[in-house]
Chains A and B, each alone.
Chain A
Amino acid sequence: MSGYKDEEDIKRDAEKMVEVQDLWFSYNKEKWALKGINMELIRGEKTVLLGSNGSGKTTLLLHLNGILIPDKGRIKVSGNYLSYTKKALTEVRKRVGIVFQNPDDQIVAPIVFQDVALGPVNLRLSDGEVKNRVKRALNELNIEELSDRKAHELSEGEKKKVAIAGVLAMEPEILVLDEPTSGLDPQSSEDLITIIDSMYKQNDNMAVLVATHNVELAYEWADRVIVLSEGEIVKSGKPYEVLGDEKVIKSGRLAMPRVLRIYKGIEMAACENPGVPPRSVEELLKVMKGNLRQ
């Protein structure tokens, strides 16, 4: 390789919102939970972090806003290396919003609007601004009608949305969601993803990172997929490059997305390669119809 970067690389460098460099971490000094992670989040990109239970997804996410401190390695947010003073951490946590895996851990105030206001109030914003932000966040998630409800009475899906609104009200540039669809029925999961999508389209300066073990979601939705296994990144890249790779699927203890599996079957039978593989059932059906007509 020659020493110069092509245009896309240069642009990518400029748009890096988070950079993780050779991150090592262990909870108990017996076993590494993360072993030399290198990763970046790009402005305007939707990244999905895929990994089976215990692979280290949550541990990695908790490093992005300085809740956990690496044993080795560094993290850069918006061009600055994280430092762990109280003031610097507040700044970072304003930029990096994390929605936790279990909404019950995150929702602490009794009334929905009160919980959504928690972040802004602690950022010492003016009363008017707090109110605006609460309104906007509830609006973006389409849950204005939940505003006055008691938080503990909500359904699991509603709780997830409230938890997201609480983070959104802090207006982060980098939105990190840990297992947003776990525990939701298929329809609610889809709704939630649609909402995250539209939210992300409205704020084109955002980077979104979703940790999950849902390969279907990763394949259909992500701009970039990172597969994590036992604290190490197995592969990262475009959804098809990563999830179409049998070896990656196997070492990540994942399953290949259904659309891709079927498509690969057809591709083999038809013995030809019609270009970009389909990402959703609809696209797959289109390809199949095309093949049948030939």
Chain B
Amino acid sequence: MHFDHTLEGYTVSNKFVNIRTGEKMFFSIFTLFIAVYTQSPFLLLLILFTMSSITIWSGVRIKHYVEMLMIPLSFLLPSIFVLAFLRGSEPVLTFSLLGMHLAMMREGLELGALLMMRSMAGISCLFFLIMTTPIAEILDTMKKFRIPGIVVELSFMVYKLIFVLIEEMESTKIAQYARLGYLRGNRIKSLSLLLSSMLVRSLEKAQNMEMALEARCYAGKMPSLKFGRETESESKVHVISPSLILIILFDACLLVMAVEGGV
């Protein structure tokens, strides 16, 4: 699956294309801040649920959403699992492994669970943004809000290169399976080969892309969608739109709950 192509497909044809980029960015980022701030599991779950259902409702296929979610999850889960052994003093589960006594702690587990929910809620906020808004529009809006050019340009490069990395990983893995990698006994070797070849190929691809961009005098500007044929006249949307009111209402509620719930 070409994640970036699938994504870009969604960003240009979803139920929210006509909502202003600024609003969507505000919604996503403000909610993200609440997810970072709050300590309430209920609120985190609420954010996760609303954000992911809105995103899926806008037109993203559940299958793709879950697949995308698996990427950060595969990094998160192991570290959170380890956390359960490190924090706290009240063991809930003890066992020994290779002569070591290991104990899972209640406090560590709770912290891990909260962290997990927080990360998922945060990810769902960002997913909403990148799945409903073309990257060019996001970058444009960042510029409008006077975010330094270097940050904007870096964001674009990171955005592009994450996908290059994922794609290379997929295709290298297929090539390895085809040549009988990952059989018993050579998993580790296959894995290290995968990583090194993935890195080399991604770098190569990134370099080619950079050269092609340079050749076209790229200076950090992504053309926005307004350059398409006879555009719908520069839309005269009112500053206060129904979508904005909804967004503000929703975020205000979250904020009140976060503050009321106590820190």
Contact = CB atoms under 8 A, between A and B. Distances in A.
Nearest to A119: B216
B180 interface: no
Interface string A90-121: 10011001101010011011110111011111
Interface centre among B211, B217, B218, B219, by most A CB within 10 Å?
A: B217
Interface string B229-248: 10000000000000000000
Interface in A186-204: none
B228 A113 contact: yes
B136 interface: yes
Contacts of B221: 118, 121-122
B215 interface: yes
Interface in A152-201: 152-153, 166-167, 170
B8 interface: yes
A285 interface: no
B158 to A, nearest CB: 14
A236 interface: no
Contact of B136 (A94, A102, A114, A167): A114
Contact of B5 (A65, A98, A118, A152): A152
Contact of A110 (B12, B212, B213): B12
A127 B228 CA distance: 11
Given A105-B208, A110-B12, A122 B227 contact: no
A127 B218 CA distance: 17
A131 interface: yes
B223 A130 contact: yes
A94 B219 CA distance: 13
Contacts of A102: 208
A122 B225 contact: no
Categorize the interface residue count of chain B: 20 to 34
Interface in B178-231: 205, 208-209, 211-229
A105 B12 contact: no
Given A122-B218, A152-B8, A100 B212 contact: yes
Interface in A115-151: 115, 117-123, 127, 130-131, 134, 147-148, 150
Interface string B1-39: 010010011011000000000000000000000000000
A167 B214 CA distance: 12
Interface centre among B208, B225, B227, B229, by most A CB within 10 Å?
A: B227
B229 A122 contact: no
A77 to B, nearest CB: 14
Main secondary structure of the interface of A (DSSP, over half): helix
B229 A127 contact: no
Contacts of B228: 111, 113-114, 147-148
B214 A111 contact: no
A122 B12 contact: no
Nearest to B227: A117
Interface centre among B134, B160, B216, B223, by most A CB within 10 Å?
A: B216
Contact of A114 (B2, B220, B225): B225
Given A117-B223, A122-B221, A111 B12 contact: yes
A67 interface: yes
A146 to B, nearest CB: 12
A62 interface: yes
B227 A170 contact: no
B147 to A, nearest CB: 18
A148 B221 CA distance: 20
Nearest to A144: B229
A106 B214 CA distance: 10
B208 A113 contact: no
A131 B224 CA distance: 11
Interface centre among A108, A134, A170, by most B CB within 10 Å?
A: A108
B12 A93 contact: no
B212 A65 contact: no
Contacts of A67: 211, 214-215
B11 A100 contact: no
Interface in A64-102: 65, 67, 90, 93-94, 97-98, 100, 102
Nearest to A103: B212
Given A148-B229, A152-B8, 9 more contacts: A100-B211, A105-B205, A110-B8, A114-B228, A118-B218, A150-B5, A150-B8, A166-B216, A167-B216
10 nearest A-B pairs in the assembled complex, by CB-CB distance: A117-B223, A110-B8, A152-B5, A105-B208, A106-B212, A119-B216, A117-B227, A121-B223, A122-B219, A98-B215
8 contacts: A110-B11, A113-B229, A114-B225, A115-B223, A121-B223, A122-B216, A150-B8, A153-B5
